[in-house]
Structure 1
Amino acid sequence: MKQPDPADFEALIADRSGFLRVLTAAPRSKRDLTELFDCSRSTIDRVLRSLADAYLVEYQDGEWHATAAGVCAYRKHDEYASFLTDLADAAPILAALPTETPIGEAFLPGSTAHIAESSVPDAVLDVMLCSVRGASVVRGLVPKALAGSATEFYEAAVTDDSATLELVLDGDVFDRLYELNPQETKDALDKPSVTLFRGTIPWTFGLWIADETEVGVVVYTEQGIQGCMLNDTKTAVEWATEQYDSVERDAEEIFLRGGPKGIR
């Protein structure tokens, strides 16, 4: 038995993925395939021969079936094609990040990308506000202070006294927010359900986790917001939780003692 050449194998699967999809779903006769793909019998013969030579399909009891290899090939190809679609959507946002970034295969599959419009870049943050609004528990990493949206985010995340908000703020982000909104900051820290930490966030993106069911990433540039991405898959939630925990474990809780100089 001749083993398929990997390069030819890959090209064949990509080129004939439609046939593999149909035969993975159910066995089909040659007549069924001719009608379904609106091809001549000679074309169908050629396609089936190439797939059979690669051990991806086989003929049994008058019908063509996908083999175990064929089913596996189609599913992995479909997964890869879906990932490329998600990656293409997110590419304009990812382009603003350094080459070495933890955002990758754990977060991108199943994500939706929202690119900021140049005319109103901050408007894309509505995606984040909608995500956290009504959540019982919100955790997040804040690498930059966006004074104009801080109050909106707080009000969306803490809809009532039972909602819990936990944030790690990078460097002097808290100090800047306190200087701009001292009373609102004090009121927030007075709530038992709100916990703020000062830590070191090694990335130029922020993230949030809403109720352990949805996560989001917001990517910043020197000019403002590049865009947001959302994902509610289990893998993405686990990835975001790992990123959050890696920063939060070394962060220090913020307490107010007579103003910013009393923060410890």
Structure 2
Amino acid sequence: MFGDYFDILNDWMREGESELELILEQDLLESIVTNYESEFDVLAGFDSVEFYIYDGQIPYALWLIDREPTDHVGITIYEEGGIKGSLVTDSEPAIDWARDQYDRLRDDSTKLESNMFE
């Protein structure tokens, strides 16, 4: 399942016009490194990709796309290993809410340095 995400993100980053910042729970990071090590290494190898590790639980996947002419935000709920629901919008109040949530999570996270898995 996550392999498809890596394909999409790695292709996106190869185009060279994007930056990516991901906040991951510690358990999720460990699972990714265990099950998708080579795909993770490729993604982590891009200079425009940064990872942050959150020491706690994040109850949903939250993502923001800053792109002209309209920004978008999405939230995805996972349950029992699969997607339970997803919402995408360009609503200004939703984007403001998502930015606040994201900033709070990032402020409470630790930046993953490239040498942490060597």
Q: TM-score range by the shorter chain?
A: 0.7 to 0.9
C-alpha separation in 1, matches of 2:84 and 2:18:
29
After TM superposition, list the pairs within 5 Å mapping 1:80-229 onto structure 2: 147-155=2-10, 157-200=12-55, 202-211=57-66, 213-229=71-87
Larger radius of gyration: 1
How much has 1:233 moved relative to structure 2?
A: 1.2
Structure 2 segments unaligned to the other structure (5+ residues): none
Q: Does structure 2 conserve the Cα–Cα contact (< 8 Å) formed by 1:147 and 1:180?
A: no
More helix by share: 1
Q: Does structure 1 conserve the Cα–Cα contact (< 8 Å) formed by 2:13 and 2:19?
A: yes
Aligned to 1:66: none
Read off the aligned partner of 1:149 and give its amino acid letter. Answer: D
Paired residue for 1:257, among 111, 115, 118?
Answer: 115
User: What value does the CA root-mean-square deviation take over the aligned residues?
Assistant: 2.2
How much has 1:222 moved relative to structure 2?
A: 1.8
Q: Sort the Cα spacing of 1:233 and 1:252 in 2 relative to 1 into closer, same or farther, 3 A.
A: same
Read off the aligned partner of 2:61 and give its amino acid letter. Answer: G
Q: Sort the Cα spacing of 1:180 and 1:164 in 2 relative to 1 into closer, same or farther, 3 A.
A: same
Aligned to 2:102: 244
- Aligned to 1:192, the other structure's residue is in SS state coil
More strand by share: 2
Q: Does structure 2 conserve the Cα–Cα contact (< 8 Å) formed by 1:214 and 1:230?
A: yes
Read off the aligned partner of 1:187 and give its amino acid letter. Answer: V
How much has 1:246 moved relative to structure 2?
A: 0.7
Where in structure 1 do 4 or more consecutive aligned residues deviate above 3 Å?
200-203
Read off the aligned partner of 1:164 and give its amino acid letter. Answer: E
Structure 1 segments unaligned to the other structure (5+ residues): 1-145
C-alpha separation in 2, matches of 1:156 and 1:218:
21
How much has 1:177 moved relative to structure 2?
A: 1.1
Read off the aligned partner of 1:227 and give its amino acid letter. Answer: G
Count of equivalent residues: 115
Identity %: 23
C-alpha separation in 2, matches of 1:234 and 1:252:
28
